[in-house]
Amino acid sequence: MKKSTLLLTLASIALPTYAQTSPAPVQERDPLQNEASMPNINQKNLKEDLLRKQRLSEQSTMAQENQGNSVARFTGKQLAENPALLERLFLEALVNPNKAVLPVYIQIYESVPNADRSLIDWAKAILEREEDLNKSVASYRKLISDFPENNFIRYQLAETLFYNQEYEAAKTQFERLRASTQNAQDVAVFDKFIEVIDSKENWNFSFSTTFLNDKNLANSAKQGTKMAVGSGEVTYNTPRQTGKGLGLSIGADKRWSLSNGKYIAFDSSMSSRYYWDNKKYNDVIGHVGLGYGYSDARFNVQVTPYINKRWYGGGLNGGDSLKQYTDTYGASLSAGYWLNQNFKYSALYNFGYERYRKEIDKRNYNGAVHSLTNSLMFIPSSTQFWSISLDLTKKYAADRSNAYNRIGTRLTWGQEWPLGITTSTTLGYAKRHYLEQSFVGIKQRNNEYSASVSLWHKQFHYAGFTPKVTWSYSKTKSNMAIYSYDKNQVFIEVGKSF
């Protein structure tokens, strides 16, 4: 079987690793205060419906009847003696699945010299859909790893994922299919599936764990870094803090469909970082949001009021036990629109007001945060996508030396390679300008650089958990040397959605 047409494995588009800073001799800054995090509104909210009879290009019953007649016209001996004819008929029964004749073709084709085993594997994947959807999904994943540009295999994988209620994975495959075809009938089929998936009402759960080995927890300058101030200098004398541990993340969300594409959405999550050898930097963040939105196959808009709560060890000046640290009250507005089959525009505006618990932190950081992200995704081929984003953030703070404006851009490239390997690469650059002079009489200005590469393999998973390896690099170059640093990290993450 030739490796023919189709789409990319839409790798997860990671948000950039935003640069952070750490203050000079006296008070360590809250590490999260220098992150311009853009909340990722997850819309895997689903409602019950079945589209089992949809096929590419509205395949007809007549086609399957003709295939049956072809078998009747030829004896098994005639087909075995004419491998080219047999292979043509076999392939037709695979492209337009004909479960009635596939067992016959398998039996005859197995005796043909130099038989293409991939045709037999494809036929078995189709037949497995009637008996064991999980087994069929596994077979299709193996096939698409070997033939990532085959439209028909990818469509049947998407269908099988849909029937197996793996809706988010199915939606990803349908979006790739839609981006790779010019056939209006096919696009209508894909749009219908996507529209139905977006209306589902099942609970969605996610879990991931990451091994942490951070050589610079506070993202601080090297010990001994000097900075000229007037006729003197400031020296950063605090050793860099390190930590090993585990990061855990869990999430649950659900959508309730209303009439005419409208819906109510609930989302919740909790993420934590536990360092067994430096508990002062342990961190837990909880999030709950309840939103209202509208969605169809092309357009989605949603507004979500939310509450975030954070518990933190306190960093260098804290202790080993977690304490209530901040409460954030806010709302987000997200929108997405497919401009055509290859381009999708997305926007996310987020407002949050941060309230700190400790008096010293209140005087430093209390205030509102506004952020706006604009993204354009381009899918040029079946195995590749590109995304470019513009991020704008404005942070208010009680102490204006901690308030800033930030503008950044990110470029992400996702690629599905042969043998089932997938990568996602992101490059980012930003400028952060603080609004008032710091304690040394200088108004801080940062140039921030980030890069990350994630890699995983479709066939490497256990009980639905897929391991992913990520390398990330971040660098801050500041006009205040005590806030400059760079850092390399490697993460091993294992996650599952269900």
Same domain, 268 and 407: yes
Rounded CA-CA distance 492/471 in Å is 9
Please say which residue of 172, 198, 224 terminates a domain.
198
Residues 296 and 437 in one domain: yes
Q: Does 65 fall in a domain?
A: no
340/455 same-domain check: yes
Same domain? For 80 and 128 the reply is yes
pLDDT digit string, tens, across residues 333-363: 999 988 887 888 999 999 999 999 988 888 8
For residue 14, being part of any structural domain is answered with no
Cα separation of 375 and 379, whole Å?
Answer: 13
pTM over 0.85: no
Residue 123 lies in domain: 73-198
Task: Give the pLDDT confidence of 219-264 residue by residue, as tens digits.
Answer: 888 888 888 777 777 888 888 899 999 999 999 998 887 877 788 9
Q: What is the 3-state secondary structure (H, E, C) of the chain?
A: CCCCCCCCCCCCCCCCCCCCCCCCCCCCCCHHHHCCCCCCCCCCCECCCCCCCCCHHHCCHHHHHHHHHHHHHCCHHHHHHCHHHHHHHHHHHHHCCCCCCHHHHHHHHCCCCCCCHHHHHHHHHHHHCCCCHHHHHHHHHHHHHHCCCCHHHHHHHHHHHHHCCCHHHHHHHHHHHHHHCCCHHHHHHHHHHHHHHCCECCCEEEEEEEEEEECCCCCCCCCCEEEEECCEEEEECCCCCCEEEEEEEEEEEEEEECCCCEEEEEEEEEEEEEECCCHHHCEEEEEEEEEEEEECCCEEEEEEEEEEEEEECCHHHCCCCCEEEEEEEEEEEEEEEECCCCEEEEEEEEEEEEEECCHHHHHHHCEEEEEEEEEEEEEEECCEEEEEEEEEEEECCCCHHHCEEEEEEEEEEEEECHHHEEEEEEEEEEEEEEEEECCCCCEEEEEEEEEEEEEEECCCCECCEEEEEEEEEEEEEECCHHHCEEEEEEEEEEEEEC
Averaged over 102-123, what is the pLDDT? 85
- pLDDT recorded at residue 251: 93
Residue percentage of the chain with pLDDT more than 90: 33
Indicate which CATH number applies to the domain containing 77: 1.25.40
Each residue's pLDDT tens digit, 2-14: 433 222 222 222 3
Highest mean pLDDT among 60-64, 284-288, 320-324: 284-288
CA–CA distances in Å: residue 273 to residues 32, 246, 278? 13, 6, 11
Determine, yes or no, domain membership for 123.
yes
Residue 77 pLDDT: 63
How many domains does the structure of the chain reveal? 2
Does a structural domain hold residue 37? no
For residues 117 and 78, membership in a common domain is answered with yes
Residue whose structure tokens are 């030829």: 74
Task: Indicate whether 139 and 237 sit together in one domain.
Answer: no
Same domain, 379 and 279: yes
Q: Is residue 472 part of a domain?
A: yes
- CA nearest neighbour of 434 among 404, 407, 408: 404
- Cα separation, 135 vs 121, whole angstroms: 12
Residue 63: band (very low, low, confident or very high) from pLDDT cuts 50, 70, 90: very low
Confidence band (pLDDT; 50, 70, 90) for 80?
Answer: low
Of the candidates 464, 495, 459, the residue with the CA atom closest to the CA atom of residue 210: 495
Residue 133 has pLDDT above 50, yes or no: yes
> What CA–CA distance (Å, rounded) separates 456 from 494?
10
| Token pair in block for residue 481 | 């040397």
Same domain for 271 and 130: no
Model confidence band, residue 379 (pLDDT cutoffs 50, 70, 90): confident
227-to-93, 248, 433, 439 alpha-carbon distances in Å: 73, 38, 19, 13
Does 222 fall in a domain? Answer: yes
Q: 208 - beta bridge partners?
A: 249, 495
Which pLDDT does position 53 carry in this prediction?
Answer: 31
Instruction: Tell me the residue type at 68.
Output: G
Same domain, 241 and 333: yes
The mean pLDDT value for 188-195 works out to: 88
Q: Are residues 340 and 418 in the same domain?
A: yes
Give the alpha-carbon dihedral of 43, 206, 413, 406, to 10 degrees.
Answer: 70
158 shares a domain with 117 = yes
- Give residue 452's identity as a one-letter amino acid code: S
Q: What is the pLDDT of residues 299-346, one digit of tens each?
A: 889 999 999 999 999 888 888 889 999 999 999 999 998 888 788 899
The mean predicted confidence, pLDDT, of the chain is: 80
What is the pLDDT at residue 17?
31
Percent of the chain whose predicted confidence (pLDDT) is above 70: 83
Last residue of a domain, one of 171, 198, 225: 198
130 phi-psi bin (left φ>0, alpha ψ -120 to 50, beta other):
alpha
**What confidence score (pLDDT) does residue 10 get?**
27
For the beta carbon of residue 364, count every other beta carbon within 10 angstroms: 20
Query: Could you tell me if 201 and 48 are in contact, meaning their C-beta atoms sit under 8 angstroms apart?
Result: yes
In this prediction, residues 271-281 reach a mean pLDDT of: 93
- Residue 59's pLDDT is 39
Same domain for 179 and 306: no
Looking at 178, 198, 218, the residue that finishes a domain is 198
195 Cβ neighbours under 8 A, 6+ residues apart: 295, 296, 297
Residue 450 confidence (pLDDT): 92
Given a cut of 80, whether residue 20 has pLDDT beyond it is no
Q: Which residues contact 5 (CB under 8 A, 6 or more apart)?
A: 149, 150, 151, 180, 382
First-to-last C-alpha distance (Å) of the chain: 33
In a domain, 188, yes or no: yes
Q: Residue holding tokens 């909880």? A: 286
Cα separation, 424 vs 233, whole angstroms: 43
Alpha-carbon Rg for the chain in angstroms: 27
Indicate which CATH number applies to the domain containing 419. 2.40.160.40
Does the residue 57 lie in any domain?
no
Q: State the Cα–Cα distance between residues 120 and 106, nearest whole angstrom.
A: 6
Q: Which of 158-167, 381-390, 411-420, 456-465 has the lowest mean pLDDT?
A: 456-465
